[in-house]
Structure 1
Amino acid sequence: MWMHEQFVKGGANNTILFAICCMSENVTLPLLPVLLPLLKYTLNKGSAPPMFVISGHNYHSIGSLMPQQPSKSKFAQLYFYDTKNEVQNRIDTIGLSNQHKSIDQTIVADLSSMLDSHNSLAKSFRYARQRFAEDSTTPPQLRLIKKRNTDGRRYNLPSASEVAALIVGDFDTDNLERDVVLQTHSNQLKRIDVDHPQYAGYPSYFITITCNPDWNEIKDCVADYSLKPSDRPDIISRVFKIKLDVVLKDLKDGSIFGKPKGIVYTVEFQKHGLPHCHILLFLQPAEKPRSSDDIDHHISAEIPDEHTQSKLYRLVQKFMTSAIKYLFKYVHKGNDRVTASFFRSHDSADSVVTVDEIQNYYDCRYISACDASWRLFGFEIQFKEPNVIRLPFHFPNEQNILYKDHQLIENVIEAAVSKDSMFIGWFKANKDFDLARTLTYAEMPSFFVWDKQGHMWRPRKQGNVIGCLTHIPHSYREEYYLRLLLNYQKGCQTFADVHSVGGIVYDTFKEACYALGLLQDDKEFIDALNEASSWASPNYIRRLFAMLLMSNNMVRPDMLSSILISGFQRSIHEIQSTILAKIEKLVQPNGKSLKEFTNMPFPDFVDLTEPSDTVFFDELNFDRTELASISVDLVSRLNRD
């Protein structure tokens, strides 16, 4: 244990407590099983406590499951290869030939049988051996595939030699180039162990911290056992978490860049064998860098002087490789994944060309050893500070009510009337607190705490929290405009106050938004339609209007519809119904309808049959008044005969 991992200081007798081993008492170990007779009576004699000495480590090297000929089986291969002579094979793997006679075969056989019956790992190996025995065909191979049409940040191939787990996800049958091969036969042995940033705006700084296997804390733990840092992913994860917490503490107290407004970080592994962390630091407005000099005060791309700053020079020379710009999308890019292929192959008699007999591709989640250790310790993969509270709002008497199936409706109504929602509680807080009247609804959580028991806002005594109004799409119209007003209106004590501007109570939230200057006019859309009407076909103009309509950017689409009927000589009502019906048919495939838009007229009929000949439709578009006048004139010129 390291002192930075301590859980509590002080307490009884000023003891220091650690919680990483039991996850703050959330992990309990089962009681020790009754000592097996073989160990109790055969191997332990005398009055001393029973004991059994393990030679070496309680973890060992494991290679391929089957030995390469003519090598003999060893380690885990003893569970799979030539199991009929397993006892003798185990004896042959230890000591010299003249020492074999001193090893009791009965004890070896009894120990092997005991492990098969009571050890879960031994049982798994035996089950795998049975599968090998049942399927005598060429054993399957696994290949990791590099795909060019996938996200290279997530589907990159491992660059470190490590133990990893693949969890099969989506099935993929693309025939792609294979790059990395893992087989059941190999010469190598590997060591294993049995054991929205959106609420805060743009970040002021982007910081990356990468684990260094040469840290003294890591080297000291593996040096005594002749191990490499990669052999102990648990140590790597713990040391990196300690150093990450120290960095975050310095960032939070403002001793480096200034007082922060928020911090977001994510820990990644990316198949490199070591964890690293991306931190987005949001500073208070007064602390944000505003010039290049402010940036240069904290960040420098200059190489330190080799003579005057020799230590810093060596560190930069060893660890600083490049400066990279990242975005929110990269920080939250998702888990590591890989495409894997299982296949069987055989060698031709005349060549060594591999022939695939099956080709199965799997989209897999990739969990490295450090990733698994990090999650087993319960460390956070993503972190956001301060916390964000979602603020619901509603129309009068339309708040959500939660109840259980067995409750009587009378009790449900009574409870709903007696308990205020967070939104109604804001109205009441504005009556009771001077500070509340200076805040918008979204700013309330930063200075007040919502009491879930008392259903009221109380002044905040500690902590830093940001409020976020529940998202409402533009298509919801009045609810959208209500949300828009709540970002500006302060001191509201009733719903009427929300849609009041300058002492004038407007009929709708939308009109109040107009009065506050929160909505733009439709001039740019009117100009676009007018310009198109001078050269485009009627069908093009209708499609343009439908596209603008579905974009939800027009404030008064009903006013723009008059442009669509200009130039036609038929009756206004008939033309309008025809055009609106055509527009309705254009928006319906996108899940929209003209009925969803306020004050937008709706056609008398929608099921229009498109004329097969446009000339026929043009013949219907005539001026009846003018034709009547022409008819009278022509009739007057006819002969009496």
Structure 2
Amino acid sequence: MANIRAYNSAFSMTSFGAKVNNTINRGSGPYVFKISGQIRHWLGSLCPPSNERPRFLQMIRTYERPSGGTLGAIISDGDPMCHQYDIVIRHKDDRPQRISKLHKLYMLLQYPLIFPYGDSGWSPELYLRVPDDSRDKRLTVNMYYSYLLMIDTILQRGDTEGRDIGKRTFLPSSFTGGPRYMYKHYQDALAICRVHGVPQYFITFTCNVKWPEIERYMSGFLSLKPQDRPDIIARVFQMKAIICCHYFCFRLITDVYTIEFQKRGLPHCHLLPWVTPMYKIKDVSEVDRYISAQIPDPSTDPHLYKIVTDLMIHDPCGLLRPTSPCMSSGTCSKSFPKPYQQETSFDNKGHVHYKRQIDGFTIIKGDVKLDNGFVVPYNRTLSLHFMAHINVEYCGWSMLIKYLFKYISKGVDRVHYTVTKIQDGTDPSQQHLSRLNEIQNFLDGCFICPHEASWRIFIFYIHDRIPAVQTLAVHLENMQNITFRDNDHLDNVATNMYNRRTTLTEWLHNTRNDTSGRHLRYIDYLTEYSWRSQSRSWV
């Protein structure tokens, strides 16, 4: 498309011609292209000169005899009188005829890529098909070609039947796990951030199949492994995830969490907590109070040492093991091992670099000696209580928040593609694209592991936030969205005043009739009023 004009010029049968007035450029101002009189178009010779190679239309040859309705042209090759006409055509059984840019055949000669089959273009003889009492029946050039290009786009998309035109099937935001569902929660998180500021931590809590609750249950089924009972794993993790969202060594104001499932199927929770001002990290010296990235002392804290060495150590990678799954282009995709730090610090961009002493404790994992450079940051209280992989990161930097909100609401990794069969004798580039059906695309491209299937069967939340967020409608007058069933009569839908009520229309109604809420902006109205969806009113 970037070179569409060049391609069209290569096949065009006419060239732009006009009387250019250059007197306006006699000065120091910018160049101006000024035309005097009427625009005209002219044809060059169909045959190249003897000493030149064919160019443009000269390269197109026709070897068959003309059929009925074929158009031809009378070419003026250097005729001094050629400026007196625009385009001259010749019907098979008629005399040569001079045409202007208003002729219905003008556009097909000038833009052959739009009219590859020689269809007639716009002409003043075309009128709108409107009621007889309509005053304006003119069909403008813009109307005609806008309609033509729209129809061409519809046909290329595969909408060949009348019931398909203008129809698009999409997944609404009410469908759990769909793209609009996740984007809605992303916007909800931003709304919470507007009121309460940025969250303090970013926590990833991963399920541990060696939890006592799971092992105690599986001890009654010696022939089974934990992965054989995804329902038990889902139920235990759901209870622990809910507890984790409220179990902190500091007091919470609000939180947002999302449940995802790993490639192996194990669930994990992404959590963003907002804490009270008393427990916020105010300077770098307070980071070590809540987050550690070092191997604990096995003699003074053996329980935490076992949890960290079993669950919070990144597998050997880099020069120690170049074939590790996390390696990409010769480096670890998670940037391990981390550089050593004698003290925790912030850089100029606000990122935190945790304390990782070079002379700390070490462990042997897979016959490889690992030190503090391979420790995943953790919180001591959470690790001791839940005995799981719980990565805790400080994120009190405002520029990082938008990325984190998108990360926790991105949904699952997915690739959508279509394999179609090319019909015999059909150009692959001319295959029509099927019309968009987001529901079918979601079903065809959806992979659900057993753990996620169990989670959905139990109707557990995959996303939640505290407090709840009310979406406020924004629209022009009489342009609100209306939802109706396919068997509803459109007259009843359009005349039902109840359907027209939105949070915006009722806010305007309340502020006009109730003076007690006039001091509140629309976005702050929820601080003193609540929206009742059943009655569609503010109370």
Asked if these proteins are the same fold (TM beyond 0.5), I'd say no
Kindly name which structure, 1 or 2, has the bigger radius of gyration based on alpha carbons: 1
> Bigger relative contact order, structure 1 or 2, given CA contacts below 8 A and separation 6+?
2
TM-score (norm 1): 0.32
TM-score (norm 2): 0.38
Give the structure with the larger helix fraction. Answer: 1
